Every structure is written in structure tokens, then in C-alpha cells.
Amino acid sequence: MRTKDASKKLLNQRFFPSSKTKTLLNSRLPFTRSIAAVVSLSLSLYPHKKCFGYHLRGSEKMVMPEEEIGRLYRVRKTLMQMLLDRGYLVGDYDINMSKQQFLLKYGENMKREDLVLIKALRNNSSDQIYVFFPEEPKVGVKTMKTYTNRMKDESVFRAILVVQQNLTPFARTCISEISTKFHLEVFQEAELLINIKEHVLVPEHQMLTLAEKKTLLERYTVKGNTGDS
């Protein structure tokens, strides 16, 4: 009998520190002798209390739909290849990351802001670029200012914005106004789902030297500017 009373006392102390809870148990829910029922009631009455060693929170991150996870995986993969082609330091792991590795890294309840990254040029580590993934479908001025303030604090003057929809007109005006100090590129997610360089009908493009440009123009008898540009 003593052991039974001690166990009951321990149960009350661990899971129901409040007398209010015990009153509700005794008067309204006689079936709460079941441990499962006890836990269920604890969740509804005390969403922020600990129960069975777990922190029971009222609101958890929502699991991102599988289709959206696949979409962001493809977008990130294209971006990594783009940055590599532009001369930024991108590791093989980032380039060859599988979808399963992507899930392990960011989790099923990832947010777009979790994908934010910064890369430096291979030949100049002080020249960096940010890649931002705004959460809101349509990006406004407030978000733009948040990003530019962050860039200013870290002396980063280039950034890519990966947006779900077009920017608001005010946000586009903001980009124009700060273009003398910050170089911001905007891509919609849909534009980055496929890396166009990997398409068999699109050959790799390379910039001509001035000598090659002059030879090409002479070959096709085309007049052009053979100067610095």
C-alpha cells in the first residue's frame, strides 16, 4: 500500500504540479488513470510544461510539403552551379548534394530563411556574395532594407534574391536607388528549377578576347567596336 501511495504521489508531483489539474482529473475525467489520458490532458491544459521528459509546446514548425522541398532542392542546386561558374568558392558537397542529404541538412520543417548562404570569390576571399530566400511570397521594401542593412554591417555588396513572386513596385524602386552601392540580382524560384547550362540544346558560352572578337567581325565583314568593350 505504501508503494502504491508513493507512486501516486510521484506521478502527481511530476506531471501535475498544480492543484487545479488534480481537481479536474478527479471531477471530470475518471478515466485518467490511464497514462495516455494523463499525457493527453497535460497537452491541452499545459502546452508549455514538461511531460515524460519532453517539452510540450503549443505550436511547432509546420512540416514543409514534399513538393516544395523538392522545388527548393532544385533551386539551391542550380544556384550552387551558378556561383561556381561565376568564380565563387563552392565545395563538391554543395554541388553534388543529393535530395536526401538536403533533407538531412535542413530538415522537413525547414524555412526558406534556413537556406540563406554567403560565398566568397576563389581568388579574393574579401569579395563575397549573399543569397537570400525571403519567406514572404511578395517581397517589399521592409525586407529589402533588412537585407541591405545586414550586407552593410558585414561589408558585402553583392546579393542574389530568390523570390516566390515578383517584387512589389516599391521594392524594385528601392533596388534602383541603392544600385550605386549594392548590386542585387532577383530571380524567381521558377527560373532556377532547371540549370539551362545543362540543357543539351544550349552550348556553353564563353567571352571572346579582343583579338578573337576582331577576327570574328572581320570574318563576317561586320563593323563593331573593337575597343575595351
Number of Cβ within 10 Å of residue 153's Cβ equals 8
CATH architecture of 66-198: 3-Layer(aba) Sandwich (3.40)
pLDDT at 36 over 50: no
The overall average pLDDT reported for the chain is 78
Q: Identify whether the C-beta of residue 43 lies closer than 8 Å to the C-beta of residue 56.
A: yes
pLDDT at 49 over 50: no
Numbered ranges of CATH 3.40.1340.10 in the chain: 66-198
- Cell 552551379 found at: 81
Instruction: Quick: pLDDT tens for 181-220.
Output: 999 999 999 999 988 766 555 555 566 777 877 787 777 7
DSSP 8-state secondary structure symbol assigned to residue 18: S
Instruction: Quick: pLDDT tens for 79-126.
Output: 999 999 999 999 999 999 999 999 999 999 999 999 999 999 999 999
**Among 199, 215, 209, residue whose Cα is nearest residue 229:** 209
Q: Identify whether the C-beta of residue 35 lies closer than 8 Å to the C-beta of residue 7.
A: no
Entry pTM:
0.62
Q: For residues 165-173, give the mean pLDDT.
A: 91
